[in-house]
Amino acid sequence: MKITTIAWRDNKIRLIDQTKLPDKLEYIHIDKLEDLWSAIKRLKVRGAPALGAAAALGVYLGMKDVQAKDFNAFSRALARVAGYIAGSRPTARNLFWGLERTRRVVQKNKDKNLFALKKLILKEARKIIAEDRLSCRRLAGYGSKLIKDKDTILTICNAGILATIDYGTALGVIYRAKREGKRIRVFVCETRPLLQGSRLSAWELKKSGIALTVICDNMAASLMQQGKINKVIAGADRIAANGDTANKIGTYSLAALSQYHNIPFYIAAPVSTFDLSAQSGKDIPIEERNRREVSELLFKKRVAPAGVKVFNPAFDVTPHNLIRAIITDRGIIRPPYKRNIKRVVSR
Amino acid sequence: MKITTIAWRDNKIRLIDQTKLPDKLEYIHIDKLEDLWSAIKRLKVRGAPALGAAAALGVYLGMKDVQAKDFNAFSRALARVAGYIAGSRPTARNLFWGLERTRRVVQKNKDKNLFALKKLILKEARKIIAEDRLSCRRLAGYGSKLIKDKDTILTICNAGILATIDYGTALGVIYRAKREGKRIRVFVCETRPLLQGSRLSAWELKKSGIALTVICDNMAASLMQQGKINKVIAGADRIAANGDTANKIGTYSLAALSQYHNIPFYIAAPVSTFDLSAQSGKDIPIEERNRREVSELLFKKRVAPAGVKVFNPAFDVTPHNLIRAIITDRGIIRPPYKRNIKRVVSR
């Protein structure tokens, strides 16, 4: 399927409004930083790699009209813009990585004038987009080697086209395996509360001709018990130096259940999702979101009684010992993670 | 809280329409067998013990106007009515047990006239209701001994007032523990697809003054990982002779996760839920329900793309080895289950 989740077009950020899927494929065009912030916060654009691109493009949006008297003033404005974007969502590593990439390119070009610096920021953002296209395809190439003909793969949330520029991580592996002629069946956890599984993954898997079945999150264990799942592959929002992985809430549940049923559990993510400054999962901030995401169905219909307490963490942390391997764009990382992650990621 | 889920009033079955909760507490009055069948099918009344009462009352509804020329004709009519009710939902043991109770009372009174037989059916149905009130309270008394002050208990679906006549099984244990002065906190899994946890359990727990938090089903593992859950208690729809237990989909997931996190997992159910003719879980029929329960949110809004395949089993089977104990109205049954269930249930 040929679509692009996020792009720079006609001096605007063009992105698919993912809150409208699967009902309609609708593009929105953003030329104000505040609108991007709210698009990120409200998950119109989501998925770690896509957020990396969104953050870098956002820096350009926020900086393109800045009039600074010198480099230091420009640099301070950049820090303000980056800080503002960083406040949208705390967990996805790529968001911060995207901001950092633009900061670094500016710092390395102190001698350039403001016009040139702005151009460099946009160039860097577009480079992130171009790299993501390649990186997803490389990752898929490595990951596909783990997939056998007739495998039935369980996944959660959306780590596909819509979470990246145009190919996906966990789902990219499946697209590649299919292209290689492997007959794959996919079970998708609907992924409460916001249903990225049934809304987004089901949409793109179906468009891509993959045989898929949607289940409620609480049905996964029963399928494993019945021997119907061969492999589990999930994306990642942030991976610590020891391999502990933050991803959509429910991922840890699948990892623990995979362990219990002796099913290999894989994480698929580009190296940009690794955060070597986080020693373990304990160092990863976990976003807690609006209770209404749980107590109301897609903000439309109240289901829990008024006033009932709700817990709504958007992510959980899967400890590294439950992960059989991490599929990256630089190859497959296996335990011992601490050593092997360092070797692969910091090269 | 003083409410009665199902009762016989003014020659009609009066029941709470549970599809309307938590928005409104609405009673419906049923005087046609077909309406009862559809109320059961559409889960206006649900929960194994409540279905036992509904089935027996339904037999009376179906038989009260029957004109049969002799006992055999009456008996055949009864079999037809029971067969019709039995076709509504296949898994809940108490439904069949309720039908069987009315059949047996008729068989034991072959000498009575039709008028008397009809009276006896109604009497038996009302006896089932009276017994359930007592049985839930006895069960709660036994179960409460397992609960410590300050326990945090996780539950799924609704095994409370609304699943019985007026007290509950798993939630009855919690109500009793609270009455004994134990400070209990409860986490309730919302229980997709039909949200009996967030709609029904949250409603009655809140009305009963229990401290509760609603979570999505995929958050339970994360709470366990963080050491926030001391015990898990679930109800049951049917328990086999070896202790294997069919209950709401997602129960097995919690049981396996409890095992992985070394948290005690309990089943709470009256002896009427045991089916000694089922040797193991393999002999329990599992109802598969309408795909729209998953692909649409409460039949209101389509979330999965049109035409996507959906798997929607209403129940799963928890193998006996994951169950620490089964709390019944005749005491607590512990392993080895095959021997101990036989001893307690068939006495």
- In order along its 347 residues, chain B shows pLDDT tens digits of 889 999 999 999 999 999 999 999 999 999 999 999 999 999 999 999 999 999 999 999 999 999 999 999 999 999 999 999 999 999 999 999 999 999 999 999 999 999 999 999 999 999 999 999 999 999 999 999 999 999 999 999 999 999 999 999 999 999 999 999 999 999 999 999 999 999 999 999 999 999 999 999 999 999 999 999 999 999 999 999 999 999 999 999 999 999 999 999 999 999 999 999 999 999 999 999 999 999 998 767 788 999 999 999 999 999 999 999 999 999 999 999 999 999 999 98
Angstrom distance (rounded) from CA A228 to CA A215:
13
Answer whether B311 sits within 8 Å of A221, measured CB to CB.
Answer: no
The string of DSSP codes covering B189-224 is: E--TTTTHIIIIIHHHHHHTT-EEEEE-GGGHHHHH
Answer whether B294 sits within 8 Å of A215, measured CB to CB.
Answer: yes
Answer whether A298 sits within 8 Å of B298, measured CB to CB.
Answer: no
| pLDDT tens digits, A60-116 | 999 999 999 999 999 999 999 999 999 999 999 999 999 999 999 999 999 999 999
Q: Could you tell me which chain B residue has the CA closest to the CA of A192?
A: B216
The DSSP secondary-structure symbol of B231 reads E
User: Do B92 and B81 touch, CB atoms closer than 8 A?
Assistant: no
Answer whether A214 sits within 8 Å of B294, measured CB to CB.
Answer: yes
Chain A: give the shortest CA distance to residue B211, in Å. Answer: 9
Angstrom distance (rounded) from CA A327 to CA A265:
11
> Which residue out of A132, A237, A316, A329 is catalytically annotated?
A237
Answer whether B253 sits within 8 Å of A257, measured CB to CB.
Answer: yes
Answer whether A214 sits within 8 Å of B259, measured CB to CB.
Answer: no
Answer whether B199 sits within 8 Å of A304, measured CB to CB.
Answer: yes
* CA distances (Å), origin B170, targets A252, B161, B262, B323: 26, 10, 20, 14
Which of A253, A280, A315, A316 is the mutation pick for testing B, counting most B CBs within 10 A? A253
Answer whether A294 sits within 8 Å of B214, measured CB to CB.
Answer: yes
Q: Which residue in the set A249, A294, A297 is minimally distant from B222, CB to CB?
A: A249
pLDDT number for residue A66 = 96
pLDDT number for residue A222 = 98
User: Do A202 and A214 touch, CB atoms closer than 8 A?
Assistant: yes
Mean pLDDT, chain A, as a whole number?
97
pLDDT number for residue B297 = 83
Q: How many Å separate Cα B142 from the centre of its chain?
A: 18
Enter the pTM of the model: 0.97
> Which residue out of B132, B237, B244, B329 is catalytically annotated?
B237
Considering only CA atoms, which of A329, A135, A333 is closest in space to residue A242? A333
Chain B: give the shortest CA distance to residue A204, in Å. Answer: 9
- ipTM score above 0.85: yes
Partners of A211 on chain B (C-beta within 8 Å) are: 309
Considering only CA atoms, which of B136, B148, B177, B192 is closest in space to residue B330? B136
The residue length of chain A stands at: 347
Over its C-alpha atoms, chain B yields an Rg (Å, rounded) of 20
pLDDT number for residue B261 = 98
Q: Which residue in the set A202, A305, A306 is minimally distant from B308, CB to CB?
A: A202
User: Among all chains, which residue has been given the structure tokens 């799963």?
Assistant: B316
Chain B: give the shortest CA distance to residue A184, in Å. Answer: 15
Partners of B252 on chain A (C-beta within 8 Å) are: 221-222, 225
Which of A201, A219, A261, A263 is the mutation pick for testing B, counting most B CBs within 10 A? A219
Angstrom distance (rounded) from CA B147 to CA B142:
10
Partners of B298 on chain A (C-beta within 8 Å) are: 297, 301, 303
The number of beta carbons lying within 10 Å of the beta carbon of residue B48 is 29
Considering only CA atoms, which of A81, A71, A66 is closest in space to residue A36? A81
Partners of A193 on chain B (C-beta within 8 Å) are: 216
Question: What is the token pair recorded at A64?
Answer: 């393109």
Partners of B217 on chain A (C-beta within 8 Å) are: 192, 216-218
Q: Which residue in the set A225, A249, A303 is minimally distant from B218, CB to CB?
A: A249
Q: Could you tell me which chain B residue has the CA closest to the CA of A23?
A: B305
The residue length of chain B stands at: 347
pLDDT number for residue A341 = 98
Answer whether A303 sits within 8 Å of B223, measured CB to CB.
Answer: no
Partners of B216 on chain A (C-beta within 8 Å) are: 192-193, 217, 249-250, 294, 312
Residue B149 is among the residues annotated as catalytic for this protein = no
Q: Which residue in the set A250, A308, A317 is minimally distant from B218, CB to CB?
A: A250
B15 DSSP β-pair partners = B6, B28
Q: Which residue in the set B222, B260, B298 is minimally distant from A316, CB to CB?
A: B222
| pLDDT tens digits, A275-319 | 999 999 999 999 999 999 999 987 677 889 999 999 999 999 999
Which of B219, B226, B252, B265 is the mutation pick for testing A, counting most A CBs within 10 A? B219
Angstrom distance (rounded) from CA B52 to CA B90:
13
User: Do B36 and B6 touch, CB atoms closer than 8 A?
Assistant: no
Separation of first and last alpha carbons in chain B: 33
Partners of B225 on chain A (C-beta within 8 Å) are: 252, 256, 316-317
| pLDDT tens digits, A149-197 | 999 999 999 999 999 999 999 999 999 999 999 999 999 999 999 999 9
| pLDDT tens digits, A196-211 | 999 999 999 999 999 9
Angstrom distance (rounded) from CA B269 to CA B189:
19
Answer whether A214 sits within 8 Å of B187, measured CB to CB.
Answer: no
Q: Could you tell me which chain A residue has the CA closest to the CA of B219?
A: A250
Answer whether B192 sits within 8 Å of A192, measured CB to CB.
Answer: yes
- Please, is A75 exposed, middle or buried when counting C-beta atoms within 10 Å of its C-beta (0-12, 13-18, 19+)? middle
